[in-house]
Structure 1
């Protein structure tokens, strides 16, 4: 667990890991917390909590290297990279332990809910994939994060899989984990609550550092060179990459408007650099990337956002109208017992 500037969330996260565990299960769980030179009271909270293995780093190294530092201290058969501003719903660790005992996979993927700061909760768009057969092709479509996969530690050591520094460090780690695994399993159960929109979170911060995603995708493709990756999987990976980067480009909370054109241009350059044999663009957005047509992309994006704003305004108006509508007499009801 990497810990940095999450004083308001840390205890909730720690409590959620051990809540409801039997004494036998608690003995099977080791919590390694890495204080990444946190500037707030996180270090003191960890020291006072008890039952943890704690690393206090003398300087801030970032999310990926902090995870690597924790991995070097871990002794468990499996590792689960839990972020310290998120939390686990009740029973999650017990369910994961049972799934690991049953199948002994290299990688176990779990479902999650996206919890917004305003209280909204929703499933991820890829969650339905966990309900089917856990094939490599299917699981590559699941959101590529470190925290939704529990991984055999010897498997990581054997393949030399580690996090790289920088933002979007999940990209060059989570995909190779699935590509290298021989045994993949899925647990179709919500075992993680992912906090969305927290102030200070990468996904809620406008920064030029979002350009570091290109470095991580270049690392991913460098990793694939010389490995026997199925051509169909290369096409799937390429499609996922471009779609992900387009999401980042269009996100108001991440991308400053003055950076969007440059970001799109770099997506097009990455497209040309890594386009796999046999790939054919199937969507208009993909064709715009292929032709490096930012003006048309910007026009279509503006039209889409205007449509979304009109729809949301209509929904709010409709909601207000229902709230102030005169009440009508309610028909009597009966229960047949």
Structure 2
């Protein structure tokens, strides 16, 4: 078995069939024999468990794992991984889907024997509009310095299962579970294959999705970065890589902080305070500094200035031609897959 696709499932009745159908769509019998699909029912409160059992009974090529209680996305992925028989594992979220030809393209590249395969994706808005992700350009330069900038999710990287065993790497509980998984697996991989092809459609803004839910649980991102940086601290990483990981952490936490759909306005000051504390705690001694104004405000622990700048930015978004008073505040075609040795 070459590939195991693990699909964690929770409260996605309206999207589940599209996801499952997209995985084997267009595959030949020989190609299908190289792929197994494991769906993990994370004690879904709707009818997803019954839908999975019915799908498995009709098609015979889906293995279903039912969990007795809800454990969350990361631990549900671990449950599927524990049942995997494939040489490689791909974690596909059940509200997303794969465009036609994706699995075939992935299988072809996996046969070259990489430790890790990175793929491109498109963001799908609720109105169906497809958007290219800002980080996708990192795939055009198959070096670690570039690839570390790729969106750090589990679903855009297909991993050799043996590598996960060698690293004893699993998903950890809590929200933002991808943080202590995605960058470590990229850093540890000796052979990285890059498939500059859209192989994943990522649904954004879905009602009920973590990234579209206001909750105190977004503070769990800090614990996940603690875990990731504890992992990197045990390794002899080059200074530039430590700098890059620090910058990525601050950028990501700033995104969470600035998102009205995640952090409630009443909690924004507390989140900023935690971010400033993480900045001081993890700032590399030889960090050359960051030119961005937001980084400087975090470093200075100036929430008042951050809040003023944030409000000014929103005024500009509502008014394409901002007033002079606001102005100063805001002072391609897919290429063939490549395999690179990054260490």
Aligned equivalent of 2:311: 302
Aligned equivalent of 2:42: 36
The 3 A distance-change label for structure 1 pair 312 and 36 is: farther
Query: Are 1:75 and 2:85 matched, yes or no?
Result: yes
Task: Kindly report which structure 2 residues correspond to 1:316-331, keeping only aligned pairs within 5 A, or say none.
Answer: none
Which of residues 220, 223, 230 is equivalent to 1:212? Answer: 220
Q: Distance in 2 between matches of 1:311 and 1:8?
A: 37
Query: Are 1:121 and 2:127 matched, yes or no?
Result: no
Aligned equivalent of 1:326: none
Aligned equivalent of 2:290: 281
SS of the equivalent of 2:272 reads helix
SS of the equivalent of 2:70 reads coil
Aligned equivalent of 2:231: 223
CA contact (8 A) 1:126 1:142 kept: yes
Task: Kindly report which structure 2 residues correspond to 1:249-288, keeping only aligned pairs within 5 A, or say none.
Answer: 249-279=257-287, 280-288=289-297
Which 10-residue stretch deviates more, 272-281 or 287-296? 272-281
The 3 A distance-change label for structure 1 pair 310 and 20 is: same
Aligned equivalent of 1:10: 16
Query: Are 1:187 and 2:192 matched, yes or no?
Result: no
CA contact (8 A) 1:110 1:187 kept: yes
CA contact (8 A) 1:271 1:290 kept: yes
* Structure 2 unaligned regions, length at least 5: 1-6, 323-343
CA contact (8 A) 1:245 1:267 kept: yes
CA contact (8 A) 1:206 1:254 kept: yes
Aligned equivalent of 1:109: 118
State the superposition RMSD in angstroms.
1.2
Query: Are 1:131 and 2:137 matched, yes or no?
Result: no
Which of residues 255, 271, 277 is equivalent to 1:247? Answer: 255
CA shift for structure 1 position 278 = 1.3
Aligned equivalent of 1:141: 149
1:230-279 CA distances to partner (integer Å, 9 max, x unpaired)? Answer: 11100001001101100110011111101111101110000011111211
Aligned equivalent of 1:46: 52
TM-score w.r.t. length of structure 2: 0.89
1:154-179 CA distances to partner (integer Å, 9 max, x unpaired)? Answer: 01011111100000000011011011
Q: How many residues align?
A: 311
**Stretches of 4+ moved more than 3 A in 1?**
none
CA contact (8 A) 1:130 1:139 kept: yes
Q: Distance in 2 between matches of 1:312 and 1:156?
A: 51
Q: Distance in 1 between matches of 2:271 and 2:23?
A: 38
CA shift for structure 1 position 281 = 2.7
CA contact (8 A) 1:37 1:59 kept: yes
Query: Are 1:27 and 2:37 matched, yes or no?
Result: no
SS of the equivalent of 1:176 reads helix
CA shift for structure 1 position 312 = 10
Q: Distance in 1 between matches of 2:157 and 2:175?
A: 19
